[in-house]
Amino acid sequence: MKKQLGVLILALVLLLTACAGKGAFTADDVSRALEKNGLEVEEITLEEAEQLASTGIEINGKAPVPLELTLPTGDMAHREFLLLYVFSSEKERIRIEREDGTPVPIKLKDLYPHLFKKNNLIAVYWSGNKDNPLLMKQITRAMDKL
């Protein structure tokens, strides 16, 4: 009887642990989703991303994971980027947004922001085209499939 109770408690702990992490995404999850949707993804350094910006790129002290996005066969007129802010949970993301706002005040030279939010992520796609962003379909599909 004690053995069965121990196994039951262990199973409940494992189940609760699995549920607690559900929905939390990593930068690698996003990169893989983007690649599955036909984009080439290269992580750039934080310093390189900061050089592109005319303002700070952190949200309440949280630095992004900066990614450069390209089409495998396309000759792109502008470099396009995704600044990916990964928080420990959706609750933390929402709390930070309330305190510091979303990253809309950030400015990257000659690029226009397009904001995505999902669970513990804020992703800002920076495109050279304000009205018809080149990679919007691929990024939207990737974020939807996460």
Residue 139 backbone phi and psi in degrees, to 5: -70, -40
For residue 102, what pLDDT band results from cuts at 50, 70 and 90? low
Query: What local confidence, expressed as pLDDT, does residue 104 receive?
Result: 56
For residue 1, what pLDDT band results from cuts at 50, 70 and 90? low
Give Dmax over CA atoms of the chain in angstroms.
Answer: 70
Query: What local confidence, expressed as pLDDT, does residue 14 receive?
Result: 43
Model confidence pLDDT, tens digit, residues 58-87:
888 889 999 999 998 877 888 999 999 999
Please state the pTM of the whole predicted model: 0.79
pLDDT at 21 over 50: no
For residue 138, give Cα distances in angstroms to 9, 40, 81.
44, 11, 13
> Distance between CA atoms of 71 and 25, rounded to whole angstroms?
24
Spatial contact of 70 and 40, defined as CB atoms under 8 Å apart: yes
> Distance between CA atoms of 37 and 51, rounded to whole angstroms?
28
Mean pLDDT (the chain) is 83
Query: What local confidence, expressed as pLDDT, does residue 63 receive?
Result: 92
Report how far Cα 22 is from the mean position of its chain's Cα atoms. Answer: 16
Token pair 């007129």 is found at 77
> Distance between CA atoms of 21 and 117, rounded to whole angstroms?
18
Residue 4, judged by CB atoms within 10 A of its CB (0-12, 13-18, 19+), counts as exposed
Q: Give 3-state DSSP helix, strand, coil % of the chain, rounded to 5.
A: 40, 25, 35
DSSP β-ladder status, 40-43 and 80-86: unpaired
